[in-house]
Chains A and B, each alone.
Chain A
């Protein structure tokens, strides 16, 4: 079983839609959760970073962590064509090793 599972998509939505991206994980000891955006042939860019359970909002982005279900989500409101990218979830227990999902490819259609 993989440490982190993420649906690869692809996901295609019209501009302005709300996007929901999700990951599940197997290790209940993970404490820190991150979302990255990666454009083609570029390095991942940190979007959101949360500790333990709960919600965190930053502009159009909201990250949710449900440790009881071992499930994390990223919501993008009012999606824009510039949001088209691959979104990676990541998590760590103690900051030594980070485990990444395989990424979800998102296309926002104008």
Chain B
């Protein structure tokens, strides 16, 4: 059973461009969470999705950030008009229930 997959692993964007981060959950997992991790800081919750539904997006900035988990295909975290402060490692986790989370390897976003 393949683990959680994220791509790309590294992404470089110039200020003002869009960043799209993809997450394919483990087989059979219908819950997806996105987190941001900055150096010397813990993982910060951003959004929790189930298939075709956003369950909790209270950790995600209201502007420029959006997330989806369509019926088919990976979950997408989209950051529009990126700024330097968006540079971070973004992790997704999938879960078969609401309590166990299995993390992907992360996408490291660098905004130049």
A102/B97 contact (C-beta < 8 A), A43-B4, A46-B102 known: no
Does B104 sit at the interface, judged by CB under 8 A? yes
A to B contact number (C-beta, < 8 Å): 65
Q: Is A99 an interface residue (CB 8 A)?
A: yes
Chain A: minimal CB distance from B31 (Å): 8
Please encode chain A, from 63 to 86, with 1 for each CB lying within 8 Å of some chain B CB and 0 for all others. Answer: 000000000000000000000000
How many chain B residues touch A (CB < 8 A): the figure is 28
Contact of B42 among A46, A96, A100 (CB under 8 A): A100
Which chain B residues have a beta carbon within 8 Å of chain A's beta carbons? 4, 31, 33, 35, 40-45, 48, 55-56, 58-59, 91, 95, 97-106, 108
Instruction: List 14 A–B pairs whose Cβ atoms lie within 8 Å, in order of A's numbering.
Output: A32-B99, A41-B108, A45-B103, A46-B101, A46-B103, A49-B100, A95-B97, A96-B48, A96-B56, A96-B98, A97-B56, A100-B35, A100-B43, A103-B42
Name A residues whose Cβ lies closer than 8 Å to a Cβ of B. 4, 6, 8, 32, 34, 36, 41-46, 49, 51, 88, 90, 92, 94-103
